[in-house]
Chains A and B, each alone.
Chain A
Amino acid sequence: MSTRLVSFLLGLLAAVLALVAAFAITSLVLIIAGDPVGEVWGEILTFPEQRNLANIINNATVLYLSGLAVAVAFKMNLFNIGVDGQYRIAAFVAAVVAGEAWLPGYLNTALAILAAVLVGAAWAGIAGLLRATRGVSEVISTIMLNFISTSVVAYFLRKAAVREEGSNTLGTREIPEGSRIPSFSIGDGPGTEIYGFIFIAAAAGFAYWFVLNKTRFGFNLRATGQSTTAAVASGISVKRMTIGAMLISGGVAGLVGLPILFGDSYSYGSTFQSGLGFAGIAIALLGRNHPIGIALGALLFAFLDEQSNPLQILVGVSPDIVAITQGVIVLTVVISYELVRRFGVRLEQQQVAKADRPVDEPKEVTA
């Protein structure tokens, strides 16, 4: 068997192992709580209807971008917990820019997306700069920047907001119709539209793969992530890479809120979805920072979220049970990937040992 096939099969095995274990643990929780295990799984594992499918794909698009943003930083051993704050402040700025409509049509859209990327990058860049120049842990600084981001957005939302007649929700000015990103439908009937932003998300995934695996910058980033000391000895400026990785991570994070903004809500209000950044951490782990893996992870999380909605009504179980599953998946994934990795290393060492053994050596009899 070729080494590529082996490593692919091992990766698949790890994911299956993790999912099976997570489902088993969730079932155990259900049993302890005295809930109907069979019915819960029966409900979750049915094939979704078109409407649900559209929801799953749309949610997955958003989660995918979040996962990518986290993965960029992970590749360099940086833990960007601040995707949440980065995407919210970026989406807010994009909503303001798009709502003001300084430019016509799609030029306006492009300007708003650019603004979101720049703001996201700048917000994450603060943490990168602190880390590179002062050694402040990016974990701490990004968490704090999340809080600051929440307050900053709330403060400026008051200034920029237009209150609709008879409504209590605050929101930015609506994006003009000519600047919205059109959706396309995957079926008939209402609620089967998919965000047009999905193509931008896919492009971001391709760019992620290309930059990390094909360019010198990506090589330097991965090398620094694996071993700072080896990177320094090879001539990589770790400070520059730290700032660069955080800027890119934040830039991608800036995109996270945009599918919703341009495809659904058309304005940024106090009810804009939050918490997407934290889901991204789990999804990046699940997808092993691989662009396809992250996509699968995002789909799985979106699937579980969507399918759990009717649980309360149909079988009387809180949909929060899938949050347990999602949480457990993150743990089982880490464990099973490690187990499979060790197994892979052993396989490889055996091969190397064969190559290392001179030809004149007597053949060892295997037990």
Chain B
Amino acid sequence: MSNPVPEVPAVRLQGIGKRFPGVIANDNINIDVMRGTIHAIVGENGAGKSTLMKILYGVQRPDSGTIEVDGTQVSMGSPADAIKAGVGMVFQHFQLADNLTVLENVVLGAEKLHGIGGRARQRIVEISDSYSLGVEPDELVEDLGVGARQRVEILKVLYRGARTIILDEPTAVLVPQEVDELFGNLRGLKDEGLAVIFISHKLDEVLSVADEITVIRRGTTVTTVTDPSSVTARDLAELMVGSELPQASSEASTVTDEVLLSVQSLSLPGSGARPLLDDLSFDIHRGEILGIAGVEGNGQAELVEAIMGMRERATGTIRLIDTDLSSASTRQRRESGIGYIPEDRHRHGLLLDSPLWENRVLGHQGRPPSVKRGIVDKRAARQDTLRIIDEYDVRTPGPGVLARALSGGNQQKLIVGREMSGDPILLIAAHPTRGVDVGAQAAIWNHIKTARREGLAVLLISADLDELIGLSDRIEVILRGRFVGSFDPSDVTPQQLGSAMTGAGATA
């Protein structure tokens, strides 16, 4: 293999621009990525990172600018071109077939390289050993944990001969311990002379692993930091946002003795022997935020849906102040005072092809101001939507715009505004700031804090441990449908939570 002169960057992007209707996703982006380095690209959501990576991976063509790989200019019309040029990508959402083995997943689509049999297996073992990925070719993917699946994805890219690897938000799905392992692997890749492009918005992680950091704001490169030890996470964040940034820190406690939500022995049978929810009991008091931490898929979504009455087979009692809601319908529960910010706003929170004012009515069909005596009051609904747009800073030309046209952050602000309407007693917030930009995140945190101050009980589910620690008054860790540990956010670290979440060091 030829050894390129160190001065020639592995990837050089010059003047990259890309426009979408009404949006300038990338505008004059300039980045040099050197061999043998980990180059982080940071920026808030919507800053244009994903578009840039799609351009580099041949998924989209830039409107302007050039891409050079190892000193030669390339034109990439498809991911196949990118792979040919030695650029590989590990997506945030894994592209693996669960019911196939690691070997089968790796060779899928690359059968021409080393066949599908012994030679391929040998090559996989070679790669796995030389970068210490610890991948077993004959294991079924469905038996693997998240971290191992990610290593399979990395191996897939290496198997195809990539010398430059892009990782899109690789730590989003990992618990802290797995993140450390991943970073070990990345350092291994870098030592072998590969170039690693690492996209993230978790600044502490970026600082701990990257050799160079490029900051992107509003589609353009703000700066490249060549010496990460010279900057702090706060510096980076300010470069990203371009202004002062928010913190999820909690204020003085407003917790009272008065129990608003009382859940007793809530269970939900699963399809197999193991229940999805196993005898959960907890109270939330007036002015209290209860945070639920857990690796995704351990019952958080089911817990929320059971409380909302969306799971028919759930058993146990749910009381909101004096009302027994155990067998109430979702509508009755909402009307008794539960506000619900769903985990997946596109699936559960919005009618994407309806105007904003109709989305204001959604979930409030039985209540004024938008519906009176069975008739939808369009004027009042529009009026109240205007109020939400104003109070919650939803950026839109007006309440008649389709929900689909708004950015994720603005959609989420609209949902928060809607769910805070109608004087809720309990607010359920499932991943309230997932996929929203820093500005909207700060606003949503503020609204949750306000809700707490106003005496609501809040159930907060989040995968962002900083968010949980910053906002909650109490944190329960959920693992396989059971609470396995209760923590006080004022003296817990993300590492401790991470251990409990994986069942490694659960408090007995």
Contacts and interface: CB of A to CB of B under 8 A. Distances in A.
Question: Main SS of the interface on chain A?
Answer: helix
Interface in B349-393: 349-354, 358, 361-363, 365-366, 371, 374-376
Size range of the interface on A?
A: 20 to 34
Interface stretch (A19-27, A246-254, A257-265, A348-356): A348-356
Nearest to B373: A216
Size range of the interface on B?
A: 35 or more
Contacts of B340: 233
B29 to A, nearest CB: 16
B350 A353 contact: no
B331 interface: yes
A292 interface: no
A358 B5 CA distance: 45
Contacts of A223: 351, 354, 358, 362
A149 interface: no
B349 A233 contact: yes
A364 interface: yes
B397 A352 contact: yes
A219 B361 contact: yes
A216 B366 contact: yes
Interface string A193-236: 00000000000000000000111111110110011011011111
B375 A356 contact: no
Interface string B327-357: 0011111110000101010011111111000
Interface in B370-429: 371, 374-376, 395-397, 400-402, 404-407, 410
B113 interface: no
Contact of A233 (B308, B329, B410): B308
B218 to A, nearest CB: 8
Interface string A109-128: 00000000000000000000
Given A349-B22, A353-B23, A235 B329 contact: yes
Contact of B329 (A214, A215, A237, A354): A237
Contact of B362 (A3, A234, A350): A234
A163 interface: no
A346 interface: yes
Given A230-B351, A233-B340, A353 B363 contact: no
Contact of A230 (B334, B347, B376, B410): B347
B21 A350 contact: yes
Contacts of A353: 22-23
Nearest to B410: A356
A352 B22 contact: yes
A216 B351 contact: no
B406 A230 contact: no
B350 A348 contact: no
Given A352-B396, A352-B397, A234 B365 contact: yes
A227 B349 CA distance: 10
B233 interface: no
A284 B352 CA distance: 23
A349 B375 CA distance: 31
B310 interface: yes
B404 A220 contact: no
A215 B373 CA distance: 9
A133 B441 CA distance: 42
Interface in B301-337: 308, 310, 329-335
A105 B43 CA distance: 78
Contacts of A354: 22, 397
A340 to B, nearest CB: 14
B404 A235 contact: no
A224 to B, nearest CB: 10
A345 B401 CA distance: 10
B24 interface: yes
Interface string B159-177: 0000000000000000000
B397 to A, nearest CB: 5
A351 B375 contact: no
Given A215-B376, A350-B22, A234 B334 contact: yes
A213 B308 CA distance: 27
A341 B340 CA distance: 31
Interface string B475-507: 000000000000000000000000000000000
Contacts of B353: 226
Contact of A351 (B351, B365, B374, B397): B397
A233 B358 contact: no
Contacts of B349: 230, 233
Given A216-B371, A233-B340, A355 B397 contact: yes
Nearest to B218: A361
Contact of A216 (B344, B365, B396, B410): B365
Given A233-B340, A235-B329, A356-B410, A349 B405 contact: yes
Contacts of A234: 330, 334, 362-363, 365
A209 to B, nearest CB: 13
A226 B334 CA distance: 21
Contacts of B404: 345
Contacts of A237: 329, 331
A214 B24 CA distance: 39
24 contacts: A3-B400, A213-B376, A215-B376, A223-B351, A226-B351, A227-B352, A229-B348, A230-B348, A230-B350, A232-B348, A233-B340, A233-B348, A234-B363, A235-B334, A237-B331, A345-B405, A346-B22, A348-B402, A351-B22, A351-B405, A352-B22, A352-B397, A354-B22, A355-B396
Interface of A: 3, 213-220, 222-223, 226-227, 229-230, 232-237, 345-346, 348-356, 361, 364
Please give me the 7 A-B residue pairs with the lowest Cβ-Cβ distance, nearest first. Answer: A235-B331, A350-B22, A353-B22, A234-B363, A233-B348, A235-B330, A356-B395
Given A213-B376, A227-B350, 13 more contacts: A215-B374, A215-B375, A216-B376, A219-B376, A230-B362, A232-B330, A233-B340, A233-B342, A235-B365, A235-B366, A237-B329, A345-B402, A352-B401
